[in-house]
Protein backbone atom coordinates (compact mmCIF):
# COMPACT_ATOMS: atom_id res chain seq x y z
CA UNK A 1 0.00 0.00 0.00
CA UNK A 2 3.06 2.29 0.15
CA UNK A 3 2.63 3.24 -3.53
CA UNK A 4 -1.12 3.59 -3.23
CA UNK A 5 -2.45 7.01 -4.10
CA UNK A 6 -3.83 8.63 -0.98
CA UNK A 7 -7.27 10.21 -0.77
CA UNK A 8 -8.26 13.38 1.06
CA UNK A 9 -10.55 13.50 4.11
CA UNK A 10 -11.66 16.40 6.27
CA UNK A 11 -13.31 14.77 9.31
CA UNK A 12 -11.19 12.51 11.53
CA UNK A 13 -13.19 9.31 10.96
CA UNK A 14 -10.50 7.81 8.69
CA UNK A 15 -7.50 9.22 10.53
CA UNK A 16 -6.06 5.75 11.16
CA UNK A 17 -6.19 4.71 7.48
CA UNK A 18 -2.79 4.53 5.80
CA UNK A 19 -4.19 5.57 2.43
CA UNK A 20 -5.98 8.67 3.70
CA UNK A 21 -4.65 12.18 4.32
CA UNK A 22 -6.84 13.76 6.98
CA UNK A 23 -6.68 17.53 6.70
CA UNK A 24 -9.17 18.51 9.38
CA UNK A 25 -12.20 20.79 9.37
CA UNK A 26 -11.89 24.57 9.23
CA UNK A 27 -15.10 26.55 9.53
CA UNK A 28 -13.54 29.29 7.40
CA UNK A 29 -12.03 27.89 4.23
CA UNK A 30 -9.50 30.73 4.28
CA UNK A 31 -8.01 29.15 7.43
CA UNK A 32 -6.62 26.22 5.42
CA UNK A 33 -3.00 26.55 4.42
CA UNK A 34 -2.43 27.20 0.70
CA UNK A 35 -1.12 23.64 0.37
CA UNK A 36 -4.17 22.06 2.03
CA UNK A 37 -6.54 24.30 0.06
CA UNK A 38 -4.89 23.15 -3.17
CA UNK A 39 -5.20 19.51 -2.08
CA UNK A 40 -8.92 19.99 -1.50
CA UNK A 41 -9.48 21.84 -4.78
CA UNK A 42 -7.58 19.27 -6.86
CA UNK A 43 -8.96 16.10 -5.21
CA UNK A 44 -11.35 14.06 -7.35
CA UNK A 45 -13.33 13.18 -4.24
CA UNK A 46 -13.38 14.41 -0.65
CA UNK A 47 -14.05 11.88 2.11
CA UNK A 48 -16.10 12.83 5.19
CA UNK A 49 -16.41 16.51 4.26
CA UNK A 50 -18.99 17.39 6.98
CA UNK A 51 -22.53 18.56 6.28
CA UNK A 52 -21.33 22.12 5.70
CA UNK A 53 -18.72 21.32 3.07
CA UNK A 54 -20.78 18.54 1.45
CA UNK A 55 -23.20 21.27 0.31
CA UNK A 56 -20.37 23.38 -1.07
CA UNK A 57 -18.64 20.53 -2.86
CA UNK A 58 -21.94 19.43 -4.39
CA UNK A 59 -22.50 22.98 -5.67
CA UNK A 60 -19.10 22.95 -7.40
CA UNK A 61 -19.61 19.45 -8.82
CA UNK A 62 -17.04 17.66 -6.62
CA UNK A 63 -17.80 14.13 -5.45
CA UNK A 64 -17.84 13.23 -1.79
CA UNK A 65 -18.02 10.16 0.39
CA UNK A 66 -20.43 9.86 2.08
CA UNK A 67 -22.65 11.18 -0.67
CA UNK A 68 -24.21 14.63 -0.57
CA UNK A 69 -27.58 12.84 -0.25
CA UNK A 70 -26.39 10.99 2.84
CA UNK A 71 -25.44 14.21 4.58
CA UNK A 72 -28.80 15.80 3.81
CA UNK A 73 -30.55 13.35 6.16
CA UNK A 74 -28.14 13.24 9.11
CA UNK A 75 -30.11 13.18 12.39
CA UNK A 76 -33.27 14.47 10.69
CA UNK A 77 -36.10 12.05 11.43
CA UNK A 78 -38.70 14.26 9.76
CA UNK A 79 -36.93 14.21 6.39
CA UNK A 80 -36.20 10.49 6.72
CA UNK A 81 -39.85 9.69 7.39
CA UNK A 82 -41.02 11.81 4.45
CA UNK A 83 -38.58 10.01 2.16
CA UNK A 84 -39.65 6.59 3.43
CA UNK A 85 -43.26 7.52 2.70
CA UNK A 86 -42.39 8.77 -0.79
CA UNK A 87 -40.48 5.58 -1.59
CA UNK A 88 -43.05 3.27 0.08
CA UNK A 89 -40.45 1.87 2.45
CA UNK A 90 -41.96 -0.06 5.36
CA UNK A 91 -41.84 2.25 8.38
CA UNK A 92 -43.85 2.56 11.61
CA UNK A 93 -46.87 4.84 11.25
CA UNK A 94 -45.56 8.31 12.01
CA UNK A 95 -46.91 11.83 12.00
CA UNK A 96 -45.40 15.25 12.72
CA UNK A 97 -47.49 17.81 14.61
CA UNK A 98 -46.68 21.51 14.33
CA UNK A 99 -48.06 24.21 16.62
CA UNK A 100 -50.44 24.03 19.57
CA UNK A 101 -53.55 23.39 17.49
CA UNK A 102 -52.08 20.35 15.74
CA UNK A 103 -50.56 19.00 18.96
CA UNK A 104 -53.99 18.94 20.60
CA UNK A 105 -55.05 16.36 17.99
CA UNK A 106 -52.27 13.83 18.67
CA UNK A 107 -54.52 11.42 20.57
CA UNK A 108 -57.00 11.48 17.69
CA UNK A 109 -54.33 9.80 15.55
CA UNK A 110 -52.51 7.66 18.14
CA UNK A 111 -53.66 5.61 21.12
CA UNK A 112 -51.48 5.20 24.20
CA UNK A 113 -48.81 3.97 24.39
CA UNK A 114 -46.89 5.55 21.53
CA UNK A 115 -43.41 6.91 20.89
CA UNK A 116 -42.38 10.56 20.93
CA UNK A 117 -38.99 11.59 19.60
CA UNK A 118 -36.86 14.69 19.38
CA UNK A 119 -37.04 14.97 15.60
CA UNK A 120 -33.70 16.60 14.84
CA UNK A 121 -30.23 16.35 16.31
CA UNK A 122 -30.83 13.35 18.59
CA UNK A 123 -28.99 10.02 18.45
CA UNK A 124 -27.90 6.99 20.52
CA UNK A 125 -31.34 6.56 22.04
CA UNK A 126 -31.44 10.04 23.52
CA UNK A 127 -34.60 12.00 22.87
CA UNK A 128 -36.83 8.93 22.53
CA UNK A 129 -39.79 8.62 24.90
CA UNK A 130 -42.42 5.98 25.54
CA UNK A 131 -45.60 7.98 26.12
CA UNK A 132 -48.09 6.01 28.20
CA UNK A 133 -50.58 8.66 29.26
CA UNK A 134 -51.58 12.33 29.14
CA UNK A 135 -48.97 13.30 31.75
CA UNK A 136 -46.19 11.72 29.68
CA UNK A 137 -47.49 13.48 26.58
CA UNK A 138 -47.60 16.86 28.31
CA UNK A 139 -44.03 16.45 29.57
CA UNK A 140 -42.86 15.48 26.08
CA UNK A 141 -44.61 18.43 24.41
CA UNK A 142 -42.91 20.80 26.83
CA UNK A 143 -39.48 19.90 25.42
CA UNK A 144 -40.05 19.49 21.68
CA UNK A 145 -41.25 21.45 18.71
CA UNK A 146 -42.48 20.05 16.44
CA UNK A 147 -43.81 16.79 17.92
CA UNK A 148 -42.66 13.65 16.12
CA UNK A 149 -45.06 10.86 17.06
CA UNK A 150 -44.69 7.22 16.06
CA UNK A 151 -46.69 4.09 16.73
CA UNK A 152 -45.20 1.89 19.43
CA UNK A 153 -43.99 -1.50 18.18
CA UNK A 154 -43.39 -3.74 21.20
CA UNK A 155 -40.07 -5.57 20.92
CA UNK A 156 -37.04 -6.29 23.07
CA UNK A 157 -34.59 -6.05 20.17
CA UNK A 158 -33.90 -4.57 16.78
CA UNK A 159 -31.38 -5.08 13.98
CA UNK A 160 -28.57 -2.74 12.98
CA UNK A 161 -27.43 -3.22 9.38
CA UNK A 162 -24.49 -1.14 8.17
CA UNK A 163 -24.26 -0.30 4.48
CA UNK A 164 -21.03 1.23 3.19
CA UNK A 165 -20.70 1.99 -0.49
CA UNK A 166 -23.11 -0.32 -2.23
CA UNK A 167 -22.93 -3.32 0.09
CA UNK A 168 -23.73 -4.53 3.57
CA UNK A 169 -20.54 -4.75 5.62
CA UNK A 170 -22.01 -5.79 8.99
CA UNK A 171 -25.28 -6.71 10.65
CA UNK A 172 -26.24 -7.68 14.18
CA UNK A 173 -29.04 -7.73 16.72
CA UNK A 174 -29.27 -5.21 19.55
CA UNK A 175 -30.96 -6.56 22.68
CA UNK A 176 -32.61 -3.96 24.91
CA UNK A 177 -31.52 -3.83 28.57
CA UNK A 178 -34.05 -5.04 31.16
CA UNK A 179 -36.80 -2.52 31.76
CA UNK A 180 -35.98 -0.35 28.74
CA UNK A 181 -37.85 -0.21 25.43
CA UNK A 182 -34.80 1.14 23.56
CA UNK A 183 -32.24 -1.09 21.85
CA UNK A 184 -29.42 1.42 21.58
CA UNK A 185 -25.95 0.34 22.69
CA UNK A 186 -25.50 3.76 24.32
CA UNK A 187 -28.33 3.03 26.80
CA UNK A 188 -27.06 -0.43 27.73
CA UNK A 189 -28.27 -2.72 24.94
CA UNK A 190 -26.09 -5.69 24.08
CA UNK A 191 -24.79 -6.86 20.71
CA UNK A 192 -25.96 -10.29 19.55
CA UNK A 193 -24.25 -11.84 16.53
CA UNK A 194 -26.95 -14.39 15.70
CA UNK A 195 -27.70 -14.55 11.96
CA UNK A 196 -29.85 -11.70 10.64
CA UNK A 197 -32.76 -12.76 8.39
CA UNK A 198 -32.26 -12.24 4.66
CA UNK A 199 -35.50 -10.27 4.44
CA UNK A 200 -34.12 -7.69 6.86
CA UNK A 201 -30.83 -7.50 4.96
CA UNK A 202 -32.67 -7.02 1.68
CA UNK A 203 -34.83 -4.27 3.18
CA UNK A 204 -31.79 -2.42 4.55
CA UNK A 205 -29.89 -2.54 1.25
CA UNK A 206 -33.00 -1.53 -0.69
CA UNK A 207 -33.54 1.40 1.69
CA UNK A 208 -29.96 2.65 1.49
CA UNK A 209 -29.82 2.39 -2.30
CA UNK A 210 -33.27 3.91 -2.85
CA UNK A 211 -32.43 6.86 -0.59
CA UNK A 212 -28.94 7.20 -2.14
CA UNK A 213 -27.24 6.78 1.23
CA UNK A 214 -23.80 5.16 1.01
CA UNK A 215 -22.60 5.18 4.63
CA UNK A 216 -25.42 4.39 7.01
CA UNK A 217 -26.64 2.17 9.82
CA UNK A 218 -30.22 1.12 9.09
CA UNK A 219 -32.25 0.11 12.17
CA UNK A 220 -34.96 -2.47 11.54
CA UNK A 221 -37.45 -4.22 13.80
CA UNK A 222 -39.83 -7.10 13.20
CA UNK A 223 -43.42 -7.29 14.40
CA UNK A 224 -46.08 -9.82 13.37
CA UNK A 225 -43.72 -11.24 10.74
CA UNK A 226 -43.24 -7.85 9.06
CA UNK A 227 -40.05 -5.80 8.97
CA UNK A 228 -40.01 -2.04 9.55
CA UNK A 229 -37.25 0.50 9.03
CA UNK A 230 -37.11 2.52 12.24
CA UNK A 231 -34.54 5.11 11.18
CA UNK A 232 -31.19 5.69 9.52
CA UNK A 233 -28.05 6.55 11.48
CA UNK A 234 -25.26 8.24 9.53
CA UNK A 235 -23.16 8.60 12.68
CA UNK A 236 -23.29 4.98 13.80
CA UNK A 237 -21.04 3.55 16.50
CA UNK A 238 -18.34 0.90 16.14
CA UNK A 239 -19.20 -1.39 19.07
CA UNK A 240 -20.92 -3.89 16.78
CA UNK A 241 -17.76 -4.08 14.65
CA UNK A 242 -15.57 -4.60 17.71
CA UNK A 243 -17.81 -7.36 19.07
CA UNK A 244 -17.59 -9.18 15.73
CA UNK A 245 -13.80 -8.79 15.51
CA UNK A 246 -14.05 -6.56 12.44
CA UNK A 247 -11.24 -4.02 12.05
CA UNK A 248 -13.18 -0.98 10.85
CA UNK A 249 -10.08 0.97 9.80
CA UNK A 250 -8.73 -1.98 7.78
CA UNK A 251 -12.17 -2.42 6.21
CA UNK A 252 -12.22 1.20 5.07
CA UNK A 253 -8.60 1.05 3.84
CA UNK A 254 -9.46 -1.95 1.68
CA UNK A 255 -12.68 -0.46 0.32
CA UNK A 256 -10.85 2.75 -0.65
CA UNK A 257 -7.97 0.82 -2.22
CA UNK A 258 -10.43 -1.33 -4.19
CA UNK A 259 -12.28 1.81 -5.34
CA UNK A 260 -15.50 0.69 -3.68
CA UNK A 261 -16.00 4.11 -2.09
Alpha carbon 176 to chain centroid distance? Answer: 19
* CA nearest neighbour of 48 among 8, 104, 90: 8
The 10 Å Cβ neighbour count of residue 36 is: 17
Whole-number pLDDT of residue 41: 97
d(CA 104, CA 84): 26
pLDDT of residue 1: 43
Tens of pLDDT, residues 231-258: 999 999 999 999 999 999 999 999 999 9
Q: Give the model's pLDDT for residue 121.
A: 74
pLDDT score for 217: 97
Quote the percentage of the chain above a pLDDT of 90: 90
Q: What is the mean pLDDT of residues 144-154?
A: 96
165 has pLDDT over 70: yes
Instruction: Give the mean pLDDT of the chain.
Output: 95
Of 255, 240, 233, 248, nearest in space to 75 by CA: 233
- Identify the CA nearest to 240 among candidates 226, 221, 219: 219
- CA–chain centroid gap for 30, Å, is 31
| Mean pLDDT on 137-144 | 96
Range 214-222 average pLDDT: 97
Q: Average of pLDDT values for 6-33?
A: 97
**Strands in 93-223 per DSSP E:** 94-97, 114-117, 128-131, 147-151, 157-164, 167-175, 190-192, 215-223
Q: How many residues does the chain have?
A: 261
pLDDT digits 0-9 by tens, 89-129: 999 999 999 999 999 999 999 999 999 999 987 655 578 99
Integer Cα distance of 252 and 144 in angstroms: 37
Which domains are delineated in the chain?
7-65 (no CATH), 93-151 (3.30.1490.20), 157-257 (3.30.470.20)
CA quadruple 126, 14, 247, 241: dihedral, nearest 10: 10
Residues 47-98 have pLDDT tens digits of 999 999 999 999 999 999 999 999 999 999 999 999 999 999 999 999 999 9
**pLDDT attached to residue 3:** 55
Cα-based distances in Å from 213 to 102, 122, 168: 32, 19, 12
pLDDT for residue 225 is more than 80: yes
Q: Please report the pLDDT score of residue 185 as a whole number.
A: 86
Q: What is the mean pLDDT of residues 7-34?
A: 97
Burial of 138 (0-12, 13-18, 19+ CB in 10 A): exposed
- CA–CA separation, 125 vs 244, rounded Å? 22
Q: Which of 168, 167, 136, 138 has the alpha carbon at shortest distance from 152?
A: 136
pTM to 2 decimals? 0.94
**Best CA proximity match to 70, nearest among 147, 143, 11:** 11
Mean pLDDT confidence for 199-226: 97
Amino acid sequence: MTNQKKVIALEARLRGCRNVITIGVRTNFSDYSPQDADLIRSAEKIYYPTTFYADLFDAMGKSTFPSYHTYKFVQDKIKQTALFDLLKISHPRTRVFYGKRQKRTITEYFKFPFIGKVPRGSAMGRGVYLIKNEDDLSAYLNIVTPAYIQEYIPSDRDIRIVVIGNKIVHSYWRIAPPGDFRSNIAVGATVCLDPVPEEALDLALHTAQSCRWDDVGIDICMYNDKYYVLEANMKYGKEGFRKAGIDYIKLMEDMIENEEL
